[in-house]
Chain A
Amino acid sequence: MDKTKLGTFEAITLILSFVVAHTVLSLPKALVDVTKSSTLLNILYITVLAVIFVYLICFLFKKFPGMDILDISEYLGGKIFKNIVGFIFIFYFVISACIFLRNFAECLEIVYYPSTDIIFIVLFFIISIPITSKLNFNASLRANLIIVPLVLMSIVFLFFANIRYFTPQRIFPILGNGFKDTFIVGLTNIYSFSGIALIYFLPPLLKEPSKLTKLSVTGIIISSIYLLFVVSLILFMFPVFVSLDEVLPLYTIATYVEFGSFFQRLESVFLLIWLISFACYLSIIANFSFKIFKKITLIKDTKPIIYPFAILALGIALLPKNYAISKMYETKIYPYIMIGIVFFVSLALLLIAYIKKRKGEKLNE
């Protein structure tokens, strides 16, 4: 049944889809809040760190051809360990997706639908998940492949359209709040590369598994270029020391785009593109959660769990009482969960499995 194989482009856009969905919300503003005017330097710094990390992961994966992280955890500690790791990842995916969904729906409600209940806007997104999950896995991958380049183009367009409002002097002071703040405290900014969580599941799905290193590094570099564009937009247009435009900062920037007197206020068109990419992100998360679930519980077909999953997602998305709580989750709690799961737990798993395998090989010789 799992005949789907990913080509290189599809895998790269998979990694990008997470970043794209997150930057539409409040990621760039959160980054700028932490490191103030040295954010660009910070992004370059964490890009280098992320690339090194990804090299390390791919090198460790080479020892286990065709196995993703669930298989490796089974190799380490048996079935129970695999179940635990699987559940951790499902928990991470589902909760982060639902909280982002709630945030996005709240922002949409503020801008466009002031008198509608939040449940209906969330329901709109949730309804698209079963519809597209009933099709095969290929559908959401290819739709992603079509849409992510559109989003990238829209950001580049925004950048060049707003150039006259830039004050590049806002990049000074270069080290922002100081060396410690930029490089040590600012290390937590690495949570913006949330696409790394997908690299753990890629090896069995690829058509050419030998290209894993190349495509994941390409994905990280492209997402870092994208982040640079977005952050420089926010940094140069708005003053850093005032906390403003917390709601959809990119949307506010899109309001400034003006070509003559005809092309004004095009932000709804940008929001349309970002909305489609967000729906893509949701369907990819749903598909990966189903895959993990299938691997853990060995069910034959994922069709019956689609509807309970959708209802579960609806429930989680409606858990926070208001926008403030979900925003706090997104800016304060999510980074640490992400860093813990994606960077520490998985890396530890891989290292231990690598050592175990090396020991096993040495014993065999």
Chain B
Amino acid sequence: MNLKNILNNFLWRKEEKYDFTLCQSKNSNNANYIDDQLNLPENMFNSLSDNINIIKSRFNSMINTDIIIREFYININQRKIKAFIIFIDGMVDLNLVNNYILKPLMLNTTNNSENKILKESNKKNNKFTRSKKIFLEQSISNTLLPQNNIKKQRSFSEIISSINSGDCALFIDSLPFAFDLDVKGFKQRSISTPNNEVIIKGPQEAFVENLRTNTSMLRRIINNENLIIENVNIGKITKTKCAICYMRNIANDDLIAEVKYRINNLEIDSLLASGQLEQLIANENYIGIPEIISTERPDKTTKYLLQGRVIVIVNGCPYSIIMPGLFIDFMSSPEDSNIKPYFANFLRLIRLLSLTITLLLPGIYVAITNFHQEILPTELLNSILSARQSVPFPVIFEILIMEISFELIREAGVRVPSPVGPTIGIVGALVLGQAAVSANIVSPILIIIVALTGIASFAIPDFSFGFHLRIFRFAFIVLGYIAGFLGIGIGIFVYISNLCSIKSFGVSYLVPYAPKEDSNKNGYIIPPIWKQEFRANYLSTKRKEAQEKISMKWRYK
């Protein structure tokens, strides 16, 4: 035996093959098997056993271990009525379920007074069964359920989505509806400081993942009953809750209608984050510039709400999206209204400069060294020449190498685990750049240019806008290499034309610069706060004045 085994192992080894492939399903309608709408009856049945069978089969309660179905008897009117509750473990607050649902229903001892009234009216009313049902429903909902949020659901699909979002459903025998009780108690992140949009002087709160917390933050700041928050469910499978928020007496009706129209006409399976929603409802333009602002700060959101824009918040994502988004919004930070107008205008100039540098500086450098060296002062030219003596690559190649490695460092820096994070910054930027210069692969002036471009791209307040600029920088480098200032000139012209033709939700993108509308002095420079009397008129708001003519009445009294 052993010899045989040994020989077998020597000569012939059994092949260990673990091969798993997904084969193409011939039946394309496989999804019907678990399709939502198909096998579900419309309304609930009167008998409890039918209801419970349907619920059990829908939720696969044999297999799903966190669906809890608790059957019990209700004590009412000295009768025992069968009932059951169903909830998802981990999403409800078990204390609330125990103390405020099960306890009053199963152990009711306080309803004797109610029984007397029932007995009296029973004598008057001959329709016994009907009044019994009405009284049953009324007495349960009015006296036995000390809950602050009760809904009566008649259709299965609605109650199932409520259970999915963390409510508890109460089914009672002989009643063709279910009670939908809000006892949500899942764990979530608490309100913290914003990670990605830091300002120095201003509130330091940020949105969280839960929709209700976010809308509560908006309500707290605006403090007005005209703030409308409408709920929409998007996505066939996930039915993600989204909130559309606007000020009813400020925002333009057409804008609100357009936003609602676009959101309600989406046929997608799932919606996970607000970035997806942004892409789904925005017009696509040729150059990939963002048309919708997304922010995680509630103070910025409320500032735009009060200007007359429409906000959408998606459950599960701490970013709110703001429509319409215009060029000057991407160039402004939430701090601009908190500091004096001189500083705000100065910062705006700096941001405009950083925009130019991010987009054009490497391209202009390539164009100058390739075609127009007479611009440079002679001493600078000499230092460039002497630095390039031993560099083997042409300028275009150097620039492309350094730009691409800068992008690599940037991308790697996002994913680096935090103990190593600062080290990567030092290693990547300083040592690598310095080593490259000492090894005569690149010239030192190029390092300065690439570093300056990178720093300028961080000065852009909006993330997606900065992304767009980073990509177009490469187009300008190629153009500058091909034809010098001719290429860059044509590139700038095509870019500006594209910017001018974009319309974000009906508003031209470069307003108030390009169509030169009189936006009531809100245009080129930020006026002092007592001069900002009118809301911007490109948004066509209903309420034109934001302040009276003399807002600081204490000065002139």
Collect the chain B residues with CB atoms within 8 Å of residue A131's CB: 494, 497
Q: Is the CB of A275 within 8 A of B489?
A: yes
Which of B368, B371, B375, B489 lies in contact with A276, CB distance below 8 A? B489
Q: Which residues of B contact A51 (CB under 8 A)?
A: none
Report the bound CA distance from A265 to B373 in whole Å.
Answer: 10
Among the stretches A56-64, A142-150, A179-187, A333-341, the one at the interface with B is A142-150
Nearest-neighbour CB distance to chain A for B172, whole angstroms, equals 60
Identify which of A27-35, A120-128, A218-226 touches chain B.
Answer: A120-128
- Per the bound structure, the CA–CA distance linking A113 and B374 in Å amounts to 14
Q: Which of the four size classes fits the interface of chain B? A: 20 to 34
CA distance A116 to B485 in the complex (A): 15
Partner of B372, one of A9, A112, A124: A112
With beta carbons under 8 angstroms apart, the residue of B377, B490, B515 that contacts A10 is B515
Question: Which residues of B377-406 have CB atoms within 8 Å of chain A's CB atoms?
Answer: 377
Q: Which of B371, B375, B485, B515 contacts A142 (CB 8 A)?
A: B515
The reply on B51 being an interface residue by CB < 8 A is no
Which single residue of chain A is at the shortest CB-CB distance from B516?
A9
Please tell me if B240 contacts chain A, counting CB pairs below 8 Å. no
Is residue B484 contacting chain A, with contact meaning CB distance below 8 A? yes
Q: Within 8 Å CB of B497, what residues of A?
A: 131-132, 135, 139-140, 143, 283
Instruction: Give B141 Cβ to nearest chain A Cβ, in Å.
Output: 56
Select B516's contact among A7, A272, A276, beta carbons within 8 Å: A7
Does B7 reach chain A (CB closer than 8 Å)? no
Q: Does B61 contact A (CB under 8 A)?
A: no
**Interface check B513, CB cutoff 8 A:** yes
Q: What separation, in Å, do the CA atoms of A355 and B342 have in the docked complex?
A: 60
Residue in chain A with minimal CB distance to B286: A135
| Chain B residues whose C-beta falls within 8 Å of the C-beta of A143 in the assembled complex | 493, 496-497, 500, 514
Is there an interface contact between B377 and A142, defined as CB atoms closer than 8 Å?
Answer: no
Interface residues on A, range: 35 or more
Query: Smallest distance from the beta carbon of A72 to chain B beta carbons, Å?
Result: 29
Q: State whether the Cβ of B483 lies closer than 8 Å to any Cβ in chain A.
A: yes
Interface residues of B in 501-520 (CB under 8 A from A): 501, 508, 510, 513-517
Cβ contact of A145, chosen from B375, B487, B514, cutoff 8 A: B514
Main secondary structure of the interface of B (DSSP, over half): helix
Is the CB of B106 closer than 8 A to any CB of chain A?
Answer: no
State whether B492 touches A132 (Cβ < 8 A): no
Q: Please tell me if A331 contacts chain B, counting CB pairs below 8 Å.
A: no
Q: Counting CB contacts under 8 A, is A43 at the interface?
A: no
A136 touches B489 (CB 8 A): no
By a CB distance below 8 angstroms, the chain A residues around B510 are: 142, 146
Q: Which of B464-500 contact A (CB under 8 A)?
A: 483-490, 492-494, 496-498, 500
* Shortest Cβ gap from A24 to chain B (Å): 12
Cross-chain contact of B498 among A108, A139, A147, A271 (Cβ < 8 A): A139
Residues A142 and B500 in contact in the complex (CB < 8 Å), given A7-B516, A272-B485, A272-B488: yes
Contact A261:B498 (CB < 8 A) given known A128-B493, A146-B513: no
**B485-A268 in contact (CB<8A):** yes
* Contact A268–B374 (Cβ < 8 Å): yes
Within 8 A of B (CB), among A83-105: none
Listed A/B pairs (9) with beta-carbon separation below 8 Å: A7-B515, A9-B516, A132-B498, A136-B501, A138-B515, A268-B368, A272-B485, A276-B489, A276-B493
Q: Beyond the given A7-B515, A261-B377, please list 8 additional residue pairs across the A-B interface where CB-CB is below 8 A.
A: A10-B516, A108-B486, A113-B371, A124-B490, A136-B501, A139-B500, A143-B500, A276-B493
